[in-house]
Structure 1
């Protein structure tokens, strides 16, 4: 793809500077004027998933910077807070955003366990939560379905990547067995369960002893070699995994050094997404993974998004984390446009429900009316060179989830 036109670069640079200035004011001010709205962005700025949080923040800011710092015609005071590694850090940060900063919407959230806790707070205060990354498959509380009236996501349920790729992996391994391994926390449980439940329902068999996924301590595990070499003893036909952030870098590099080095590795796409792929280097080559986005998608919205990302001065290619956060801003833009007069959480939430089809870099999508998550395509990708750059190159469409 050719570089963006020079005038686009100049405009984006100017808008980025203006956006940063605006954010600096927002973080120190406690008042908003009648022509502005305050939005909370809660993402990991520290801990294992800091790189994910940085990309999410960049995606949301990119939308603001290319829309004059406004959503729905209103100036945005963006208040950013640190999610850290989970609820212990995220819950008090969310309470501050909701109670002291009085945001009209809360977006971001990297971890599934964070979403589970924070959505209770936003529901109580009738403030829409527009998550832009992991979302647990919410379990009923006391036998009753969870109240998701104020909970929306521009990303996915955490079990969906595994569900989307399971049939493909089943066809690739034939009668062979697959070893499943992932991190020991809520996101790991959801990601691996989506794959193993679907894979075994299709007649596949796990190489793990007793057919149970191996979960490694999180976030403490840095040396994966003992686990990988033990897994090699089961002689699997393939391995399926989910890791992200710093853990993904260590896992991929050590996989290439382990007794499993010649065994095909399939994964949820977060394993090789974004800056971690640069850190992994050639060790990641050949990994086949599944995600709802690839920077090589040929639609016009994605071409514009990739060009704007580059023009803003970001290194590397945009990620699903940036894209989903960009889309969260787009949803808020359209919803706020439909709100007349003073903005309240209740008005904004009702407007989100009427957004309809979203034209997105991932391809067009819309919210499922019951679960408030995208009905979207999932893609098989392979890590290989795209010109001089190592990239997650699109291989084929896999499926649409949630299925109708």
Structure 2
């Protein structure tokens, strides 16, 4: 026979069971997928991107917003078709809540539509494809690095106005990242009074740059935009051909990225570059970050490791804001797009309305300090957006940066 006491006891037991189930559901893992590259020209960037995110997770004992994290890494091989396959596997087999990565712009372009259709949060820690935060905005996409051209606009202006260069030859990897970097540099350099004399394009897998270097003549300087280990190979050959002393180089961020700088020698010394990070920044968050990553990898952090670490910081702020409930995808994306990060190793940043960072851009000089090459900051441009000093509406009416635009050469 049921008594009032037994009914109360049964109700309490059911409430306890429900609470326990709710607690277990709340404590279930957040599944994070990462698309990286483990072989080929972009492998060094892929390893660093993974290093940066793993450091972020270790600092938090593999938990974010009170929930454990299951981290699943997939190798794209730096191939767009394989990147799409790996993306589908992460979503359909591993049931990830979000994806971090990939390394290259052409990979991101290959998978963006799939993530948009599947409504999977896509936290881009590296790939800098311009149009993904410009004319073809995916509401499930947020970038924590920069567009390809974002650091190159200030560098173009600096090269003309501060360094006094009037004629420059450019050389870059012949894929979206290199093309967009070059176009951004060209636009700002020519707006400041300079002229691009010639543009040279090398395949991403180039093993020898001799035929390109032999075409470099009659310029005040060279703008070099390379990714992965290609910058190291180009700079070494450039010095061997004897051009380093006669025709200085100004470089895109990844050409002398800290991730490969440790493998370089005198060929890199003195190069002026621009980027949204330098391991030489003296802020407390950066000094702490550099110390930890050096201890774990033996090398300084750079473009790829900081981009993924920043992705972790943004992810954490968004998840804390919604109580860790990543299953509420709409609420998560709304929170993610509103994050402001003030404790990042690179310095403070926030997202514009297109989900791309507004951040400091640093003009850097590669110098040897305490026995290692570092990118010493010599000038800072605060709060630089992807549109530089151009009107966003007018900017977006023009074609996306490419091999030929903004000028036909």
How does the TM-score come out when normalised to structure 1?
Answer: 0.85
Is contact 1:72-1:332 (8 Å) kept?
A: no
1:201 corresponds to: 191
1:15 corresponds to: none
1:215 is aligned to 2:205? no
Structure 2, gaps ≥5 residues long: 1-24, 390-409
Is contact 1:292-1:377 (8 Å) kept?
A: yes
Deviation (angstroms), 1:259: 4.7
Is contact 1:127-1:349 (8 Å) kept?
A: no
Deviation (angstroms), 1:353: 2.1
Secondary structure in 2 matching 1:329: helix
**Alignment partners' CA distance in 2, 1:326 and 1:278:** 20
**Alignment partners' CA distance in 2, 1:340 and 1:296:** 35
Q: 2:211 aligns with which of 222, 226, 236?
A: 226
2:289 corresponds to: 305
Q: 1:255 aligns with which of 226, 229, 238?
A: 238
Q: 1:83 aligns with which of 76, 84, 99?
A: 76
Correspondences of 1:116-155 after superposition (within 5 Å): 116-138=109-131, 145-155=135-145
Secondary structure in 2 matching 1:392: strand
**Alignment partners' CA distance in 2, 1:383 and 1:92:** 39
Is contact 1:72-1:335 (8 Å) kept?
A: no
Secondary structure in 2 matching 1:256: helix
1:154-189 per-residue CA deviation (whole Å, 9 max, x = no partner) reads 100011121120111012453631001111111111
Q: 1:156 aligns with which of 146, 156, 164?
A: 146
Correspondences of 1:17-28 after superposition (within 5 Å): none
Bigger CA drift: 344-353 or 46-55? 344-353
**Alignment partners' CA distance in 2, 1:353 and 1:227:** 42
1:184 is aligned to 2:174? yes
Is contact 1:127-1:346 (8 Å) kept?
A: no
Is contact 2:197-2:219 (8 Å) kept?
A: yes
Q: 1:324 aligns with which of 300, 307, 314?
A: 307
Deviation (angstroms), 1:343: 2.7
Name the count of aligned residue pairs.
Answer: 361
Deviation (angstroms), 1:397: 0.8
Is contact 1:173-1:237 (8 Å) kept?
A: no
Deviation (angstroms), 1:384: 1.0
Bigger CA drift: 38-47 or 350-359? 350-359
1:58 is aligned to 2:41? no
- Aligned pair in 2 of structure 1 residues 258, 172: CA closer, same or farther (>3 Å)? farther
- Aligned pair in 2 of structure 1 residues 40, 394: CA closer, same or farther (>3 Å)? same
**Alignment partners' CA distance in 1, 2:229 and 2:216:** 21
Q: 2:330 aligns with which of 306, 329, 346?
A: 346
Correspondences of 1:212-291 after superposition (within 5 Å): 213-219=199-205, 221-232=206-217, 235-262=218-245, 263-291=247-275
- Aligned pair in 2 of structure 1 residues 34, 71: CA closer, same or farther (>3 Å)? closer
Deviation (angstroms), 1:99: 1.5
Bigger CA drift: 258-267 or 370-379? 258-267
Structure with max Cα Rg: 2
CA RMSD of aligned residues (A): 2.0
Is contact 1:71-1:329 (8 Å) kept?
A: no
Secondary structure in 2 matching 1:261: coil
Is contact 1:136-1:159 (8 Å) kept?
A: no
**Alignment partners' CA distance in 2, 1:400 and 1:127:** 29
- Aligned pair in 2 of structure 1 residues 186, 178: CA closer, same or farther (>3 Å)? same
Deviation (angstroms), 1:139: 7.3
1:105 is aligned to 2:90? no
